[in-house]
Amino acid sequence: MLHPSHFASVVVFAICASVVFGITQRETPRRMVRYGIYCFVLFVGSAVALSWAMYLIAR
Amino acid sequence: MVATENKTVAVAPEAQSGFVYLPLIAGWLVPGAGHFLLRKWGRGALLAVSILGMFVLGIAMQGKVYANAHDILAMLGLAGDLGNGLLYVVSRMMGLGADTVQVTTADYGTRFIVVAGLLNVISAVDAHNLRTGRKI
């Protein structure tokens, strides 16, 4: 049984989802890569930002 | 040439013959197969690795594979799982995944399996758009 950390789970999820979003939502390879990276940064960035927000609210 | 809402794209000759829904159905049943049928090898391989990877990781995390829809959340989960096509059928036949979620990582695994199904549906629709010439 696999027990990844919360952050590892977020990163793996973001990589897989970003690859699919990039390929399916854009038409040229260059734009696919750019959109994939954009989605990845948004996925991980929003998870980190929300985590800090919840941490600060809980204190 | 096929006119779309905002633009006009050229349709490849090989995309104008045969059963138009074949890439959609193949892509749903096997992740990436729709793109392979259209000879988009690179895109198909990346989609297959991403979707299969998410599904396998979800199973490895002892995620739940929905078998029935006894409430609205289970119904939505089942709809997402069904997007995995044959992966869902095989996992049900082999009894993979957990019946109940007991640890946090298993909850993540459940989401991985559901999202893999949803991403597979997006991928299959993309293959259909390539087939009809709506997308290059």
Query: What is the tens place of the pLDDT at every residue in B65-110?
Result: 999 888 999 999 999 999 999 999 999 999 998 877 778 889 999 9
The confidence score (pLDDT) of residue B12 equals 54
Task: Decide: B32 and B124 in contact? Cβ < 8 Å.
Answer: no
Contact B47 A20 (CB under 8 A): yes
pTM for the full predicted model: 0.89
Q: Between A12 and B6, name the one with better pLDDT.
A: A12
Task: Quickly count: other Cβ atoms within 10 Å of residue B69's Cβ.
Answer: 13
Per-residue pLDDT tens over the stretch A25-58: 999 999 999 999 999 999 999 999 999 999 999 9
Task: Quickly count: other Cβ atoms within 10 Å of residue B89's Cβ.
Answer: 12
Confidence of residue B8 (pLDDT cuts 50, 70, 90): very low
- Closest CB from B115, B125, B126 relative to A17: B115
- Tell me phi and psi for residue B83, to 5 degrees: -65, -15
> Distance (Å, rounded) from C-alpha A51 to C-alpha A45?
10
Give the position of tokens 């979003």.
Answer: A21
A vs B, Cβ pairs < 8 A, gives 60
- Angle in degrees, CA B33, B39, B45, rounded to 5: 50
Shortest Cα distance, chain B CAs vs residue A59, angstroms: 22
Q: Which amino acid is at B97?
A: G
> Distance (Å, rounded) from C-alpha B82 to C-alpha B66?
9
Looking at the predicted structure, is the pLDDT value of residue B9 above 80? no
Looking at the predicted structure, is the pLDDT value of residue A9 above 80? yes
Chosen from B40, B54, B107 to mutate, greatest number of chain A CBs within 10 A: B54
ipTM of the complex: 0.92
Task: Decide: B62 and B109 in contact? Cβ < 8 Å.
Answer: yes
Contact A2 B119 (CB under 8 A): no
Task: Decide: B47 and B123 in contact? Cβ < 8 Å.
Answer: yes
Per-residue pLDDT tens over the stretch B14-68: 555 789 999 999 999 999 999 999 999 999 999 999 999 999 999 999 999 999 8
Query: Which residues 1-59 in chain A show a CB within 8 A of chain B?
Result: 1-4, 6, 9, 12-13, 15-17, 19-21, 23-24, 27-28
